[in-house]
Chain A
């Protein structure tokens, strides 16, 4: 379990691709520099889409935590 303080949590479980990624992008748009955003996704595509987008956009993937039937992506807005 992560020990990072979460500023915003998005429950995108049950949302089909590309919903979880687009929710994250929306939160990054609205967020402040340094904000930590948690995305909960049960969509398999998120495992590749979210890290790939973070790599291109330069924001930090702090942690990926497998949970019961879904993944928690912990992301920090770095610019």
Chain B
């Protein structure tokens, strides 16, 4: 009998895991992906949509087109995972049995957790949100732009910093930079979660006249007064407010009592296994691991999950472990980017931003659809450390 493997979630982690498993297991496995929409979003592209550098069409593809033919796609919402019975309940009443289940359910945005956030702020963490922000920026003729984070953890930690750099360039190009003030409201005492990256980022912010307010954990937005307040007791006025909404794990994780208090799955940081029975795995944004919630994390975790399940199906001891590897680009505007590469043991040492890394980021954006979901991009990228010009 072939082993039944269910993958919940058709994002980068779920899609890649399913494709790798189907290839590795062949006739020994039946791999299915369960996804509520059947559409796959390239979420890093939302930032470019918000700034008018891309339209939404290249960001969304049919999940079916990204899966191998021998992977079944079930377009339905999973409502409960019963790990004891080995089944997943579906919204329309049916259920699917599994021998192994991979929880790649991602994160959910919870804007209603912060009073006034929905009415008073914009975001670029959904395609619709990015499109609304693009229109708001087009109407913007000068004033105070505040950019902040309404809860940690959140997806793609560099994104708010990238946004302030890119909106600064956007305002300059429109000739309204001198009438505008840009402030990053950081929940920490620096611009970015990782200290070594902050040391590269903050001098560039200073050069560009981007202000930094530290220890600002958003508590409330008052749209009628045009103010945002922090848990630390500060109140700041805004003309355009951009906030990353609070995140938590998906409803199906809450309803299955598998997550922690914030709905994140407690996965082993190396094996990515959840619980002790050896047939539940998690990856990507859905886990509680102390590592970035990003597509890159899921990309590097997927081969580990696929390899471990394949070993278990074939009756051998799983060997592959996840070492916390992440690699992501950080746009600094003016056609330059830097790159963050790190793992559990080694913090990043980002190079000075260069045009070469910006070109690499754009190349990755273009190649994503043909490489990452199918496992065609090796997880040991032979990318050189560029010696491009320093930021000026």
Interchain pairs with CB closer than 8 A, number: 38
**Is B215 touching A29 in the complex (CB atoms < 8 A)?**
no
Q: For residue B232, which residues in chain A have a CB less than 8 angstroms away from its CB?
A: 53, 56-58
Interface, chain A (partner B; CB < 8 A): 15-19, 21-22, 25, 28-29, 45, 49, 52-53, 56-58, 79
> What are 19 A-B pairs at a CB distance below 8 A?
A16-B290, A17-B193, A19-B290, A21-B188, A22-B187, A25-B152, A25-B217, A25-B231, A28-B231, A29-B217, A29-B219, A29-B231, A45-B195, A49-B189, A52-B215, A53-B215, A53-B232, A56-B215, A57-B231
State in angstroms the CA–CA spacing of A28 and B231 once bound together: 9
For A57, the chain B residues whose CB sits under 8 A away are 215, 231-233
Residues of A near B219 (CB, < 8 A) are 29
**Using Cβ atoms and an 8 Å threshold, which residues of chain B touch A18?**
152, 188, 193
A45 CA / B194 CA spacing, docked (Å): 11
A57 vs B193: C-alpha distance when bound (angstroms): 19
Cβ contact within 8 Å between A58 and B233: yes
Inter-chain contacts of B290 with A (CB < 8 A): 15-16, 19
Which among B153, B188, B233 has the highest number of chain A CB atoms within 10 Å? B188
Chain A positions within 8 Å of B215 at CB level: 52-53, 56-57
When distances are taken between beta carbons in the complex, the residues of chain A under 8 Å from B233 are: 57-58, 79
Question: Which 6 pairs from chain A and chain B are nearest by CB?
Answer: A57-B232, A56-B215, A22-B152, A56-B232, A16-B290, A18-B188
B169-198: which residues lie under 8 A (CB-CB) from chain A?
187-189, 193, 195
Q: Return the chain A residue nearest B193 by Cβ.
A: A18
Separation in Å of the A18 CB from the closest CB of chain B? 5
Interface string of B228-271 (1 = CB under 8 A from A): 00011100000000000000000000000000000000000000
Closest chain-A Cβ to B113's Cβ sits at a distance in Å of: 10
In angstroms, Cα B217 to Cα A49, docked, is 14
Report how far A45 CA is from B190 CA in the complex, Å.
Answer: 12
Q: Which residue of A lies closest to B219 (CB)?
A: A29
B contact residues vs A (CB 8 Å cutoff): 152-153, 187-189, 193, 195, 214-215, 217, 219, 231-233, 290
B interface: dominant SS: loop
Provide the residues of chain B in CB contact with A49, threshold 8 Å.
188-189
A17 touches B195 (CB 8 A): yes
Shortest A54–chain B CB gap in Å is 10
Q: Flag if B195 contacts A52 (CB, 8 Å).
A: no
Residues of B within 8 A of A58 (CB): 232-233
Look across to chain B and name the residue whose beta carbon is closest to the beta carbon of A16.
B290
CB of A55 to closest CB in B, whole Å: 9
Interchain nearest-CB distance for A27 vs B (Å): 11
Residues of A within 8 A of B195 (CB): 17, 45
Q: How far is the CA of A22 from the CA of B188 in the complex (A)?
A: 9
Min CB gap A20→B, angstroms: 11
Q: For residue A28, which residue of chain B has the nearest CB?
A: B231
Write the chain A residue with the least CB distance to B152: A22
Q: Which residues of B contact A19 (CB under 8 A)?
A: 290
CA distance A79 to B189 in the complex (A): 21
A25-B187 Cα distance, complex, nearest whole Å: 10
Cα–Cα, bound, A57→B231 (Å): 7
Which of chain B's residues has its CB closest to A29's CB?
Answer: B231
Contacts of A25 in B (CB 8 A): 152, 187, 217, 231
| B158 CB, nearest partner CB in chain A, Å | 15
What chain B residues lie within 8 Å of A45 (beta carbons)? Answer: 195
CA distance A56 to B217 in the complex (A): 11
- Interchain CA distance A16-B345 in the complex, whole Å: 10
Which residues of the other chain, B, contact A16 by a CB distance below 8 angstroms? 290
Give Cα A2–Cα B217 distance, bound, in whole angstroms.
29
CB of B231 within 8 A of CB of A52, answer no
The residues of A that contact B188 with a CB separation of less than 8 Å are 18, 21, 49
Beyond A15-B290, A18-B152, A53-B232, 5 extra complex contacts between A and B, CB < 8 Å = A22-B152, A25-B187, A57-B215, A57-B233, A79-B233
Most B Cβ at <10 Å: residue of A18, A19, A28, A49: A18
- Bound-state CA distance A29–B290 (Å) is 21
| A79: min CB distance to chain B, Å | 7
* Residues on A with beta carbons closer than 8 Å to the beta carbon of B214: 56
Question: Which residues on B sit within 8 Å (CB–CB) of A15?
Answer: 290
How far apart are the CA atoms of A26 and B217 in the complex, in Å?
10
